[in-house]
Structures are given as C-alpha cells and as structure tokens.
A and B are shown apart, each in its own frame.
Chain A
Amino acid sequence: MSTRRIRGAAATAALAAAVTACSAPGSGGPGDAKSAGSVVIGVASEPDTLSPLLGYGKDGNSKIFDGLLAHDADLKLKPALAAALPEITDGGRTYTYTLRDGVEFSDGEPLTADDVVYTYRTVLDPKTNNTFKSELDAVKEVRASGDDKVVFTLKYPYAPFAARTVLPIVPEHVAGKQDPNTGSFNTKPVGTGPYVLSTWSKGEKLTFKANPRYWGGKPKVKTFTMAVIADDDVRATRLRSGDLDGAVLPPNLAATFKGDDATRTYEARSYDFRAVTLPTAHRVTGDRAIRRALDAAVDRRAMVDKILDGAGRPAYGPLPVDDPAFTEDIERAKDLGKAGRILDEAGWKPGEDGIRAKDGKRASLSLLYPSGDKVRQDHALAYASDAKKAGIEVKVESATWEVIEPRMKDTAVLAGFGSTGDPDFGLYTLLHSSLAGDGFNNMARYDNPAVDRALDTGRRSQDPAARKAAYDTLQRALVQDPGYTFLTHIDHLYVLADRWDGLTTQLEPHEHGFASGPWWNIEDWQPKQ
C-alpha cells in the first residue's frame, strides 16, 4: 500500500469515527427546562437497578411502579393497585387483597393477580440476588384466587405485614421471560406507575415521562429528570445557575439559599438516626454503668444546633420524637452530675489523668466512624468530648467499612439507621438478641429479655393498644439499659425552585435522595399560575 492511500484511508476512518460518534439518537427537541411541566432534580447517586425484584422502590417510593398499597404524606397506608386495604383473617395469618379494576402496565397489558404472585415469588426465590428477602420472612405462601384476588398466608401473625406490601409489582409477561438478576428489565423497566423511564444515560441522568395509561390520572409534570451529580458543591452550583430545578443538599450548602426568593428549602423529618453502638463484649462498654453514664453525659441539643445547624432533633431512642409510637416521658437533658453519680456507685473512680478506672481497667474505648462522612465525624468528636467530661476516654478513629466490619463486635461504631413504615421494621433488627451480630443487624449485640419480649409482642399482636404498650416498654427499658447512645435524628434538606403548589415531604428513612424528597408525589404537583 502506498503512503498516499494509507493517508487517505486513515482520514476516512477518522471521519467515519467522528460521524458515528455524533449520530446518537434524536435531533434534540427544544429543551424548555424552565416550564413548570418539566422538572430537573440533582441527586447524589444513581440506582444500581430499576428492578423491584432486586430492591428498587421496595419501600413504596418508585415513580415507575406501584405496590398493592402506598404511603400517604403521613405514612398511613392507602390502597394503590389494591382496591382497598387488605382483609385480615385467620388471627392475622391470612391477608387477602382485591385488585383495582382497569389497571394497565405502560405497555398496554392489563395487571392481573398472576403478576402480583410472580413478583412476590421471585423476590422470595433464594436465587434472586436481592438484599431484602428477609423482610418478607413471614410469608409462607402467596397465591392468586381468580383474576383479581391475591392471598398471602403467613407463618406467624405479623401485624405490620400490610406495610410490606408497598413492594412494587412487575409484569410477569416482561420480567418473567428473563433472569431477574441479569435481564434487561433492570435497565428497561415496565410498570403501572405515573411515570415511564424514557432514557437512562448511566452515570449522567435518568429521564422520566408521564405515563398516559396511569390509572391515577395524568400528572401535570410531564417530564422529570434525575441528574446524577455526586459532588455536593457542583450540585449547589448547578442549582444556582438554573441548570437544576432542585437538589438534595447538606445543611451548610442549603443555608446559602436562604433569602433567595426563587427557591424554597424543604426540611424532611426523618427516622435517620446517628447513634454510637456500645458492644456488650467490650470490657468497658459491656458495663451497664458506663453505658448509662455516657447516655447522661451527651449533649444532644448542642449536637443538633452545632453539627446539624438546627436541622434535626435530639434522639432519645431509635424512634424520633414526633413518631406516634414515641414515649414522651423518656426525653432527658444532659446531666453530668448524674453520670458522675452512676459511675461512683458502680466503683469507677477518677484517676490521676481525669479518666476513671475500676479494678485496674481504664474507662477507655475506641469509636470508629466511616471515613469521609463529615456529619458522623462531627458526631463522633462531640461524643468524645462529652464523654471526657464524665471521665470516660473515647478515642475516635476513622476507617472504611471493610476495616470496621470485623471490629464492630467489640468496638464502638458511629452508626446510622432508620426505617419508616412501622416501628417493627427498624427496631427488631436493631435490638433483638436473636439477631445479635447477624450481618449489620444488632451491631452492638444487645441482649435484653424485656426488650426481646416487647419486640415479639409488637410484631405479633394485632391490637394497636397492645403494640403501643409494648413499644413504650421497650423505649423505657432502653433508657435503663442503653445498648446504643442515640444522639440525633437528622433532617434531610432539599432546595427547589418555587414554581409549584402543594409540595410536601414525608417522614423519611435512613436512605434518601433518589426516592424520597419533596418529589415523593411529583405526580400530584400543580404548576403555579
């Protein structure tokens, strides 16, 4: 081949490559980002999958799918794909749902009871790689009864079961033909929800369009984009430049939008608590006097004011102060005198360096927090300084979860958890002794028979008054024998352009950003006139 021909070929190849690269689909419609009918939200991370079978939207907050039931703004259950709340028979062991008439998937196929049965059976299949199968542990069998009835049979009476049926329903005629772990349904979902996925540019954004077949009526917001922007500062900048209509922001950046007339800040209250685990196996934190002293010595109010900039509440237990199940008389202020008395009585005597000691062991412990998490770091440092005033030395260390995990059985960790829906969901896995050290469940290996009994009653009793009483007992028992030092419940902050009416926030769980936020009911937003 001659030089000239090769040069020509190279030029042609380069040109061809450039043309191919640029001929991506679509010619670009008018990107009218400023109309109220289109919304662009900046979030910090994107979902791994959009398949409910692997966990997407399992807490009932997907815009593509619906569950049998849904949560309203106050987290009360309301019918969604089911025509009404379930009929509960057989002493709480049988739940029967009747499906709503005329619901279609976005591809035009009708929803049937078989779709519901397929969804639950696939989730319960051990071969399906989801992380939440144990949440449906109570289910013994699920079957269809005719075209529009689904019957769940439980292994034991499980009072909060209805709150688990917010799990999104997938169409068997699409998902059933694939491997749920690897199929294309993960990135090309088909559901019954108010929106359908229009494009997913991985690592950049997801775009949703209003579903014309939605059973709940046509949403006013026609298109809705989730831009994936990991960096907090970049998200704030792009929000300020008008590129985004709204974003999740940490407290310090949200504060910079105060006084801006074009935006509004929404503070979503949450179950998301920060707590220090006090492992029972550790020679110091295993002592109940130390745990009680730490609990009395921490200044929760100061943490809320200084660390969270006021966007949060002191945590006196795992349940937030405004939860209906919260026991009000357990609220307690910082009391260093009490901490000192408890330690004196238990025989922890102040040493020369101000750190107490008993039988030759110093009141000293390490506290791990995941590196890079500023809010947890601040909590850990504040905790250490409060503890020191009571004569307990807390050595704060940061580490990755790979390092923390093997150490958490006997080292304190600054943990964050919180589930919505029912007190049972968060508390049982956090406190029940049967789950001590089971993965990330009950990290402190807490073991208290009174608490176990209360958890079992709360789980199995159908009587709301008996459940309330059980959770009261539990919260009081936790004050007497704290397995964790609960510090704060943190608010999640969202800043949005002020172009819609009727925006609200729900009480949110630990995880947030993509599914929760003022856009939890974006299908109901009304553009401002």
Chain B
Amino acid sequence: MARLAGRRALFAVPVLLVVTFGVFAIAAASPFDPVKAYAGTAALGADQETLDRLRENLGVDRPFAVRWWDWLTSALTGDLGHSTVLRQPVAQVIGERLVWSALLCAVAFAVAVLLGTLLGVLAARRPGSAADRAVTSLAYTLEAAPVFWIALLAVWLFALRWDVLPAGGLTDTGSEHVSLGQVTSHLVLPAGVLAVSQLPWFTLYVRQGVGDALAEDPVRGARARGLSERTVLLGHALRSGLLPVLTLIGSRVPELITGALLVESVFSWPGIAAATVEAATAVDFPLLAALTTLATAAVLAGNLLADLLYGLFDPRVKLSDM
C-alpha cells in the first residue's frame, strides 16, 4: 500500500510540472491584460505613463517560461508568491478560503454518497418496480440538469418563496462572528445543491452494482441458506455492489470541484471559487498556478484514494499488484 502511494506520488511530480507549465503558457496566450486587471476600473482613467509603470513594476512582460521557473523555484522553498489581483500572499488567499470550500465539498460529497447508496439500494431491490422507476428517472433528470440551474431554483424556492433558508453568504449579513449554527444553516442550500448534482452518479452505480450482485451465486446461496432479506441485501449484495462506487469516488472529484465553483458563485460562499475566476481573468500567474496545482493534486489524491479503498474492500485485488 505504501509502495502504491509512493509510486503515485512520484508519478504526480511530472504531471504537476506539465500542468503548471501549461497554465502559464495558456495564461500568457490569453487576451486578458494583467495590468488592466490589476488597475481595475481605475485603468479606464489612467494615462499611458501609469500603465507603463505598472507593467514594469509587475514584471508582466517577462517570458512565461521564466516566470514559471521563478514561481516553481520559490514555490519549492515554500513561498507561493503574491497574488497581484487580490493584493495578498497566495498562501493567505488559499488559507482563508480553502477551508470553506473543503467544508462545502466534504459535506456535499458525504451526503451524495450516503443518499446515493440509499436510493440505489432502494431501486435495486426490485428492478422494474415503481420505486425503481421513480429513482431511476429522477437520477436521469438530475444528471441532465446544470448545477447552476438547480442552484437558482433552490434559491427561488427555499429563500424567496418559503423563506426558510438564507439565500447566500457564510453567515447572516449583519452578524460579525462565524458561529457554528449560522454556518450550518447557510451551508444547507449550497451543500444540498452540490450533493444533488452528484447524486445521480452514485445512485445509478449502486443500483447497477447491487442489482448485479443480487443475481450472483453467493447471494443466491445466502438466500438459499435462509438468511434474512436484510442480511442478504446489506451484508452480501451491498458489499460487493459498492465496489464500483469506490472507483467512482475518485473520478467524481474533478466534477465536484467544477460544480463547487458554480455553487459558490451563486450562493456568495466565500470559498476558493471567486478567487479562481478572478485569477484566471486577471492573468494572476502565482494564484492561478497554485490553485491549479491544488486542483490537480485533489484529482490525483482522489484516484489514489479510490484505488486504495478498492484494494481494501475487494479481497480479489492485491494492492501490491496495482
């Protein structure tokens, strides 16, 4: 297991190098002007001397490969650089916001996995039943619905029509402190929407996996031995039916991240999303590179986690062979 993790970590190094280099190259080729982004609306009243001075001070005319190398070498010493557009050290930008994004993603992911498993098992118990048809069609509908659309719908229904949940923010606008109760009530809508957007994948995979397992010999054998339906379903079918879901966990991480970006902007959630969008449009190299590295690392870690779980739960798989 340690060997697997170690090998993956070694593999991650060239991937991260290529990804960050690509980010610098794409950003340098983008039509956005970092000087204008830095100056913001003030650029529209600035004279050429001011724009030239900023261009020089910000060092934006250096070739992107040189800037990438500078960023990389200082990042290795622990200095992630300085975000020009947010006027803060990159480490601070990430530190302030990442925790809220991580909370949002973790809650949404947990809800999606649990609820998805529950609905999947419900549907798999009697293929073709009313429950199966309802769950399956719901899953296909949600699969097709864009996440920002679901988010706007949720705001309209829960915040405007029923007025039961806040429409945005981390806490009530008037309150000064971040309290557990406030964050919880403000988390419900964004995390719920994100969970719902991930739900169909888990539901459909579990339904398929458990459905197949119910038809397999070990389960039939268990039934024949007179074990209760509950034991058969949860102890035998679910356990082998969950295996494909474990691989799914890793592969859903990228979409979870992109989904979180949309959800955060709709709900004014102070996560990393707004910073990512700003970093991209402002050609803020250090911030963009750090965020991309982070996202790439999350995807790689997600895949590793899925493989590890698979090895642990499936007795047929040996981690040393992976």
Q: Do A and B bind each other?
A: yes
CB within 8 Å of B: which residues of A?
1, 3, 6, 14, 17-18, 20-22, 24-29, 31-33, 38, 40, 42, 48-49, 51, 54-55, 126-127, 129, 131-134, 181-182, 186-187, 198-199, 201-205, 207, 223, 225, 227-229, 234, 237-238, 241, 243-244, 401-402, 417, 419, 429, 435, 438-441, 510-511
How far apart sit A223 and B50, CA to CA, in the bound complex (Å)? 37
Contact of B54 with A18 in the complex, beta carbons under 8 Å: no
The smallest beta-carbon distance between A54 and chain B, in angstroms, is 7
Query: When the two chains form their complex, are residues A228 and B174 in contact, meaning their CB atoms are under 8 A apart?
Result: no
**Cβ contacts under 8 Å, A40 to chain B:** 173-174
Which chain A positions have C-beta within 8 A of B228?
Answer: none
The closest CB in chain B to the CB of A58 belongs to B42
Task: Tell me if B174 and A204 are in contact (CB < 8 A).
Answer: no
> When the two chains form the complex, which single residue of A3, A223, A237, A417 contacts B176, counting CB atoms closer than 8 Å?
A223
In chain B, positions 276-322 with a C-beta closer than 8 Å to chain A are 312-313
Cross-interface CB contact of A402 among B32, B99, B160, B170, cutoff 8 Å = B32
Given A429-B45, A440-B44: A28 and B175 interface contact (C-beta under 8 Å) = yes
Please, what's the 1-or-0 string for B73-88, where 1 marks a CB less than 8 Å from any CB in chain A? 0000000001001111
Contact B173–A225 (Cβ < 8 Å): yes
Would A203 and B270 count as touching, CB distance under 8 A?
Answer: yes
Is B174 a contact of A33 with CB atoms below 8 Å? yes
A228–B169 Cα gap in the complex (Å)?
A: 9
Given A21-B103, A40-B174, answer yes or no on A228-B42 (Cβ-Cβ < 8 Å).
no
Q: A186–B174 contact, CB under 8 A?
A: no
Task: Let me know if B50 and A133 touch, CB within 8 A.
Answer: yes
Please tell me which stretch of B12-20, B178-186, B197-205 contacts chain A, meaning at least 4 of its Cβ atoms lie within 8 angstroms of it: B178-186
Question: How far does the alpha carbon of A207 sit from the alpha carbon of B171 in the complex, in Å?
Answer: 12
Contact, CB under 8 Å: B268 / A237: no
B39, CB-defined interface residue at 8 Å: yes
CB distance from A22 to the nearest CB of B (A): 5
Instruction: State in angstroms the CA–CA spacing of A234 and B178 once bound together.
Output: 22
Residue B33 lies at the interface, judged by CB distance under 8 Å to chain A: yes
Q: Complex Cα distance A429/B42, Å?
A: 14
Contact check, A28 vs B178: say whether CB atoms are below 8 A apart. Answer: yes
Q: Residues of B contacting A129 with CB < 8 Å?
A: 38, 54, 57-58
**Contacting residues, chain B, for A511 (C-beta < 8 A):** 41
Contact assessment for A203 and B44 in the assembled complex, using a CB-CB cutoff below 8 Å: no
Does B143 belong to the interface (CB within 8 Å)?
Answer: no
- Check B50 against A24 for contact (C-beta < 8 Å): no
Cβ A26 vs Cβ B178 within 8 A: yes
Known pairs A134-B46, A203-B270; list 17 more (Cβ under 8 Å): A21-B103, A22-B183, A26-B177, A26-B179, A27-B177, A31-B176, A33-B172, A33-B175, A129-B38, A133-B50, A133-B53, A202-B93, A202-B275, A229-B268, A234-B167, A238-B168, A511-B41
In the complex, the answer to whether A187 meets B88 with C-beta atoms within 8 Å is yes
A-contact 0/1 string along B82-100, CB 8 Å cutoff:
1001111100010011011
Contact across chains for A48 and B268 when beta carbons are under 8 A apart? no
The answer to whether A203 and B268 have CB atoms under 8 Å apart is: yes
Going nearest first, the 3 A-B pairs with the smallest beta carbon separation are A28-B179, A26-B177, A33-B174
- The residue of chain A having its C-beta at the shortest distance from the C-beta of B33 within the complex is A402
A134-B47 in contact given A21-B102, A38-B174, A187-B88 (Cβ < 8 Å): yes
Cα distance, A204 to B176, chains bound together (Å): 12
Among B39, B168, B178, contact of A24 (Cβ-Cβ < 8 Å): B178
Q: Which residues of B line the A interface, CB within 8 A?
A: 1, 31-33, 36, 38-51, 53-54, 57-58, 82, 85-89, 93, 96-97, 99-100, 102-103, 106, 159-160, 163, 166-183, 268, 270, 274-275, 312-313
Nearest chain A CB to B76 CB, angstrom units: 20
User: Can you name 15 A-B residue pairings with CB atoms under 8 Å?
Assistant: A1-B1, A21-B106, A22-B180, A24-B183, A28-B181, A31-B176, A48-B85, A126-B57, A129-B57, A134-B47, A203-B268, A203-B274, A401-B36, A402-B33, A441-B47
Residues of B within 8 A of A223 (CB): 176
List, in ascending order, chain B residues with CB within 8 A of A127's CB.
57
B175 touching A440, Cβ below 8 Å? no
Q: Is the CB of B178 within 8 A of A25?
A: yes
User: What residues of chain B lie closer than 8 Å to A14, measured between beta carbons?
Assistant: 106
Chain A residues near B183 (CB-CB < 8 A)? 22, 24
Which of chain B's residues has its CB closest to A441's CB?
B47
Given contacts A3-B312, A133-B53, contact A439 B48 (CB under 8 A): yes
Q: Which residues of A contact B181 (CB under 8 A)?
A: 28
Give chain A residues whose Cβ lies under 8 Å from the Cβ of B171: 28, 31
Indicate the member of A22, A25, A131, A133 with the most B CB atoms within 10 Å: A131
Q: Closest CB-CB distance, B38 to chain A, in whole Å? A: 7
Chain A residue contacts of B102, Cβ below 8 A:
17, 21
Q: How far is the CA of A504 from the CA of B235 in the complex (A)?
A: 71
Q: Which residues of A contact B169 (CB under 8 A)?
A: 204-205, 227
Residue of B36, B44, B58 ringed by the most chain A CB atoms within 10 A? B44
Are B50 and A203 touching (Cβ within 8 A)? no
| Nearest opposing residue in chain A for B88, CB measure | A187
When the two chains form the complex, which single residue of B45, B88, B312 contacts A6, counting CB atoms closer than 8 Å? B312
- B177 touching A201 by the CB < 8 A rule? no
Q: A14-B106, A131-B46, A439-B51 are in contact. Are A227 and B88 (CB under 8 A)?
A: no
A241 to B174, CA, bound (A): 13
How distant is A436 from chain B, measured CB to nearest CB, in Å?
11
Residues of A within 8 A of B42 (CB): 55, 131-132
Q: With A28-B178, A54-B87 known to touch, is A440 a contact of B57 (CB < 8 Å)?
A: no
Measured CB to CB, the closest approach of chain B to A440, in angstroms, equals: 5
Q: If the complex has contacts A40-B173, A401-B36, A438-B47, are A48 and B87 also in contact, measured as CB distance less than 8 A?
A: yes
The docked-state distance in angstroms from the alpha carbon of A439 to that of B31 is 18
Q: Which residue of B lies closest to A416 (CB)?
A: B44
Q: A33 to B171, alpha carbons, bound, how many Å?
A: 12
Taking a contact as CB atoms under 8 Å apart, the answer to whether A31 and B175 are in contact is: yes
Q: Which residue of A lies closest to B99 (CB)?
A: A21
A228 to B274, CA, bound (A): 12
A29 with B176: in contact, given A181-B57, A201-B170 (CB under 8 Å)?
A: yes
Complex interface: chain A residues within 8 A of B46 (CB): 131-132, 134, 439-441
B48 to chain A, nearest CB (A): 4
A244 partner residues in chain B, CB cutoff 8 A: 173
Residues A229 and B179 in contact in the complex (CB < 8 Å), given A1-B1, A131-B46: no
Task: Tell me which residues across on chain B come within 8 A of A186, comparing CB atoms.
Answer: 87-88
User: Which chain A residues border B174 with CB–CB below 8 Å?
Assistant: 31-33, 38, 40, 225, 243
Q: How far is the CA of A22 from the CA of B275 in the complex (A)?
A: 21
B87 and A202 contact, CB distance less than 8 A: no
Most chain-B Cβ atoms within 10 A of its Cβ — which of A49, A129, A429?
A129
The complex places the Cα of A127 from the Cα of B32 at a distance, in Å, of 23
By a CB distance below 8 angstroms, the chain A residues around B1 are 1
